[in-house]
Structure 1
Amino acid sequence: MASPRTQQPRSPSIRDVARVAGVSHQTVSRVLNNSDAIRAETKDRVLAAMEQLQYRPNRAARALVTSRTHTIGVLTAQRSHYGPAATMQAIEDAAVTRGYSVTTANIAAATDEAVRDGLGHLLDQDVDGIIVIAPQQRVFDLIEELGMRTPYVALRTSGGDERSTLFIDQMEGARLATAHLLDLGHEYVRHLAGPQDWIEAEARMQGFLREMSDRDMPVVPPILGDWTADFGYHAGRELLRYRDCTAIFCSNDAMALGVMHAARSYGLDVPGDLSVVGYDDIPEAKHLWPPLTTVEVDFPELGRRCVELLLPSEGHALRPVDLVPQLVVRGSTGAPRRR
């Protein structure tokens, strides 16, 4: 004999939440849509009821009613690097607090096809807005050419008037690092730059060159690296073979770590024989020996501002403001020894 069919438990509905919270289902709907017309104590009661019932709103149904999916799309590249990864985490955290989820499209190379495919992936999911974190200028040029109607926020490295753009003054950060070394008395400073096609690398290199030029200091062409500690080590070995510099400014902390390793391999003291400055202020920078002098970029704040600019609070529209990196002086820099 066949066993009786087991009845599956029904998922809680918006009306169940309303009953437990002692409010109307319209009030629950307003809470789900982050309405400012709901009193704080009422919102707390509704949220507590959702938690008690383990209620999860049906995103598809909400989209049909509100024409919004409450999803942010992020187009990103090289998420394995500290800056993009830290910014991405902050975007996800900030989006969750606003009741949004995040979907990403990671492009391995900034080709037209890859960018189009990445944007198409996000737009196919009917995202309410897109945040663009990409290292190459071509990505932004292509977005402009496509004429997207979906709101988007882009990250750039220099100022401007665009209301949909956040700027990080990477050039100023590089000038701060270079000026620090020159103020210590270093006359022969080399720069280990990032990849040629990265916007950040170009801005940091230009900051170094301008500061050196403004001080009438001798300049040797920068070496183009690849952001890795391995490259920093091998480049450092070549640079230090002839001891023609007393300081090296690296375009990121990983390459600076490699340079410090190269100095140790020659028996050189940091900072006694060589001062080293990095960029980004990765969490490990203060634990190196000696602790690394570097340029700090507030990547978490950058991520939070991206979400606020894309999803401004009612009555509070965020104005794009430059984020200026800060120099963090630690033990890897000092005055040069007299020869």
Structure 2
Amino acid sequence: MTGTDAANSAGGEASAALPTMFDVARLAGVSHMTVSRVVNDRPGVAEATRARVEAAIAQLRYHPSSSARIMAGSRSGALGLILAGRPDFGPSSAALGFTEAALEAGYTVSQVSMREVGETTLADAVRRLEQQRAEAIVLISGERAGVEMLRHLRPRVPVVAVASADEPGVHRVSLDQYAGAVLAVEHLVALGHREIRHIAGPDDSMDAAERRRAWADTLRAHGLEPRDPLVGDWTSASGAAAGRVLARDAAATAVFAGNDQMALGLLHAYRSAGVRVPEDVSVVGFDDVPEAAYFTPPLTTMRQDFDTLGRDVLATVLDGLRDESTSRSVPAERTRRVPVLVERDSTAVSAGR
């Protein structure tokens, strides 16, 4: 392993000390592919641009490793996918959508999965995919820590993250969790509900944070004061635990659950406590899992288009592989697609408790 390879596989000070091709690209104001052409003495680079890149190389004292030269010298037709964190419906569906889109486009996909997001395991995954000559890497992780770690690792290939929160230096693609949650709460408000509770996802989840923020903002926009949300872990069991608490909340006439699985647990707890849905309390979920239409009652929820998300991720990856494109921002439509409200039988006009 060369010094540059070691620096990119570790998250410590060695990584910060040795410059990468992306550091040169940022300093010169060009894409990493342009830097690659200059380093490998290839045609197609304007003299002024070549001079700017060479000046940046000299200033940073950048020395490309032999493996970086090999990777830059040919196309492998392979993409890397890192699926990090809990195996929840959203991240798993996003991974499937991306993989299908990549295969349709003629790429192979190598996937590395990890249940716990750690800097060492993430660095190992990046290094493994680079050694397999992945032309780009996609990270799908609902946890903010994974995206933050990725930025510090500075891989040698373009990286795209599926993330609902901004992270400086990382291209991201997402569905608009905030706007989707606003629609969910607005649906309940339009039905006359004024005491709308929330079961939030885990504190380390970017999606959960966006949905929780939208719930609170929407209530305040209507002159309503949000109560402290109950916090679950995306599982039905945590939704049931929250439901046992909410069943004693006589003022609540509606609940926005952070995902469908927690909504399922909530429905079970309400049924056990003799609380009727939607006659006593309306319930809205998020995701539209395949089983949502068969809950008792069928669940009103927010449908996320993971197939389109997968194609948006692939389009952003391909942008990053084209010359000069890594310096451009991701098109707005790839971060602003809004989930769609699917109305079923779990919501109704408020009749009070």
CA distance, structure 1, for counterparts of residue 72 and residue 185 of structure 2: 55
Q: Deviation of residue 163 (structure 1)?
A: 8.8
Please tell me whether residue 278 in structure 1 is matched to residue 292 in structure 2: no
Please tell me whether residue 166 in structure 1 is matched to residue 173 in structure 2: yes
**What do the CA deviations read for 1:248-273 (whole angstroms, capped 9, x no partner)?**
11000000011111111112221001
The residue type equivalent to 1:172 in the other structure is A
**Residue in 2 that maps onto 1:324:** 338
The residue type equivalent to 2:331 in the other structure is R
For structure 1, the residue ranges without an aligned partner over 5 or more in a row are: 1-62
Native 8 Å contact 1:250 1:276 kept in 2: yes
**What do the CA deviations read for 1:77-101 (whole angstroms, capped 9, x no partner)?**
2463111121111222112122211
SS in 1 for 2:233: coil
CA distance, structure 1, for counterparts of residue 322 and residue 212 of structure 2: 40
Native 8 Å contact 2:280 2:352 kept in 1: no
Native 8 Å contact 2:267 2:296 kept in 1: no
Residue range with higher mean Cα deviation, 193-202 or 217-226? 217-226
**Residue in 1 that maps onto 2:91:** 84
SS in 2 for 1:273: coil
Q: Deviation of residue 314 (structure 1)?
A: 8.4
The residue type equivalent to 1:144 in the other structure is R
Q: Deviation of residue 319 (structure 1)?
A: 3.2
**Residue in 2 that maps onto 1:334:** 348
Residue-pair matches, total: 276
Q: Mark the CA change 1:319 to 1:162 in structure 2 (over 3 Å): closer, same or farther.
A: farther
Alignment of 1:198-277 (within 5 A): 198-277=205-284
Alignment of 1:25-36 (within 5 A): none
**What do the CA deviations read for 1:47-101 (whole angstroms, capped 9, x no partner)?**
xxxxxxxxxxxxxxxx999722211111112463111121111222112122211
CA distance, structure 1, for counterparts of residue 87 and residue 206 of structure 2: 17
Q: Deviation of residue 114 (structure 1)?
A: 2.4
Q: Which has the higher helix share?
A: 2
Q: Deviation of residue 159 (structure 1)?
A: 6.9
Q: What TM-score results when the alignment is normalised by the length of structure 2?
A: 0.72
CA RMSD of aligned residues (A): 2.5
Q: Mark the CA change 1:68 to 1:302 in structure 2 (over 3 Å): closer, same or farther.
A: same
Q: Mark the CA change 1:64 to 1:110 in structure 2 (over 3 Å): closer, same or farther.
A: closer
Q: What TM-score results when the alignment is normalised by the length of structure 1?
A: 0.75
Please tell me whether residue 115 in structure 1 is matched to residue 122 in structure 2: yes
Native 8 Å contact 1:163 1:319 kept in 2: no
CA distance, structure 2, for counterparts of residue 159 and residue 169 of structure 1: 12
SS in 1 for 2:345: coil
For structure 2, the residue ranges without an aligned partner over 5 or more in a row are: 1-69
Q: Mark the CA change 1:162 to 1:168 in structure 2 (over 3 Å): closer, same or farther.
A: farther
Q: Mark the CA change 1:338 to 1:91 in structure 2 (over 3 Å): closer, same or farther.
A: closer
Q: Deviation of residue 215 (structure 1)?
A: 1.3
SS in 1 for 2:145: helix
Native 8 Å contact 2:80 2:109 kept in 1: yes
CA distance, structure 2, for counterparts of residue 116 and residue 276 of structure 1: 41
CA distance, structure 2, for counterparts of residue 243 and residue 109 of structure 1: 39
Dislocated runs of 4+, deviation >6 Å: 63-66, 159-163
**Residue in 1 that maps onto 2:158:** 151
SS in 2 for 1:196: coil
Native 8 Å contact 2:253 2:282 kept in 1: yes
Native 8 Å contact 1:186 1:246 kept in 2: yes
**Residue in 1 that maps onto 2:147:** 140
CA distance, structure 2, for counterparts of residue 134 and residue 160 of structure 1: 13
Please tell me whether residue 125 in structure 1 is matched to residue 132 in structure 2: yes
